[in-house]
Amino acid sequence: MAPNTFALHTMEGAAMSDRLYHVILNPNSGTARAMGVTAGMLAELFASHGLEAVIDDNDSRPLMDRIHEAAEGPADVVVAAGGDGTITAIAGVLVDSEKDLAILPLGTFNAVAKDLHLPLDLSGAVAALASGTVQKIDVAEVNGRIFMQKVVIGLLPGLAAGREHIRGRETFATKIGFMRYFFRRLARQRRMAVAIEPDNGEMRIDRVQAMAVACNAYDEGMGRFFSRQSLDRGTLTLYVLRHLNARDFFRLVTGMLLGRWHDDEALSMESVKSVTIDTRRDLVKVMFDGEVETLQTPLRFSIKPKALSVVVPAETLEAVEAA
């Protein structure tokens, strides 16, 4: 089945209105499913702002086939209408290309959209495209795969798998059950030995409970949970948790709420351009931009500075330049 195509009239005015948009809708993403977002709904929104768009809602086709079709087509902007997984997949194809990425945040967490200060309501997000501008941001790479947020190793991927198990049936009882599971895993989790070789230092062996490699750095601030003010610093940040028990967990969460967690005794951080991480296992489970996956070791991380063009509200770019 071909994508639903809607010929929309482009209005005179801003440059963003003179461009062709190819929208890839993931109707099964969290917010899209809850709101019942359809191709027709998106077509009306784009038309109301004078934007010409092709809407692809055919989720019976493999996502990567749909993305490559959009990347090879005539559209100037490829729009990710879905969650962080959809955004990361599209970004991986558009890196170092002449096409721009735009985001309609229809996922559960929408972490990338929040970091870019995009409107989180669908109507506002489409309106922002009409008056937006293009910002160059960094992406990171592990073993040849692009990610936009972070890759986590150790305790958290197992917890994320448990969280995924109850998605869609989140009653009070299942939430209590997950919390019990969380603290049992926390108590039983053993530290693992990892070899860490940063570009600016010698290889070392460490025993860790969990670790993460993030594209740029997460900022401190009152009430901020894993938010990044700048996406173009040109660095990776390596976070290492050498121990994490229930007491550490509550202290870290409290520190994040109060905006002072960088100096926590359980956590160490370092800024690098590239880093190689190895374990005794040939395969390791990771949380890859929010999705649990299995990767081959060693894990070779690098940063790709300003390799992706993203459409953002004009005031976002002005704020970034001022900072």
Q: Where are the domains of the chain?
A: 4-131, 146-306
Q: Which residues of 197-209 are buried (b: 16+ CB within 10 A; e: fewer)?
A: bbeeeeeeeeebb
Question: Residue type at 224?
Answer: R
Query: What's the distance, CA 115 to chain centroid?
Result: 9
**pLDDT average, residue stretch 73-100:** 95
- Using CB atoms within 10 A of its CB, is residue 87 exposed (0-12), middle (13-18) or buried (19+)? buried
pLDDT at 184: 64
Please tell me the predicted confidence (pLDDT) of residue 170: 56
Q: Taking a C-beta distance cutoff of 8 angstroms, is the pair 83, 106 a contact?
A: yes
Which tens digits make up the pLDDT trace of 21-63?
A: 999 999 988 888 889 999 999 999 999 999 999 999 999 999 9
Tokens encoding 140: 């990171």
CATH 3.40.470.10 fits 146-306, yes or no: no
> Who has greater pLDDT, 318 or 36?
36
Rounded-to-integer distance, Cα 195 and Cα 203, Å: 7
* 60-89 mean pLDDT: 96
Residue 181 binned pLDDT confidence (cut-offs 50, 70, 90): low
User: Closest Cα partner for 268 from 234, 238, 225?
Assistant: 238
Cross-strand bridge partners of residue 118? none
**251-310 tens-digit pLDDT:** 767 776 676 767 777 788 999 999 999 999 999 989 899 888 899 999 999 999 999 999
Select the highest-mean-pLDDT range: 10-24, 221-235, 298-312: 298-312
- Is the pLDDT score of 87 beyond 70? yes
Does pLDDT of 318 surpass 80?
no
For 182-211, what is each residue's pLDDT tens digit?
556 655 667 789 999 999 889 999 999 889
Using one digit for the tens of pLDDT, what is the confidence trace for 108-162? 889 999 999 999 999 999 999 988 999 999 999 999 999 999 999 987 655 555 4
Checking if the pLDDT of 172 tops 50, the result is yes
* Superfamily of domain 4-131, CATH level 4: Probable inorganic polyphosphate/atp-NAD kinase; domain 1 (3.40.50.10330)
Residues with Cβ within 8 Å of 301's Cβ and at least 6 positions away in sequence, in order, are 140, 141, 142, 151, 213, 236, 274, 275, 276, 277
Q: What is the pLDDT of residues 90-112, one digit of tens each?
A: 999 999 999 999 999 999 889 99
H runs (alpha helix) in the chain: 30-35, 39-48, 63-72, 84-94, 111-115, 122-130, 155-165, 172-188, 246-258, 314-322
**Confidence category of residue 15, pLDDT binned at 50, 70, 90:** low
Q: Are 79 and 137 in contact (CB under 8 A)?
A: no
Question: Band of the pLDDT at 14, cuts 50, 70, 90?
Answer: very low
Mean pLDDT of 61-84: 96
Return the HEC string of 116-140: CCCCCCHHHHHHHHHCCEEEEEEEE
Whole-number pLDDT of residue 69: 96
Q: Is the dihedral of CA 317, 47, 125, 233 positive or negative?
A: negative
Whole-number Å distance between alpha carbons of 204 and 214: 20
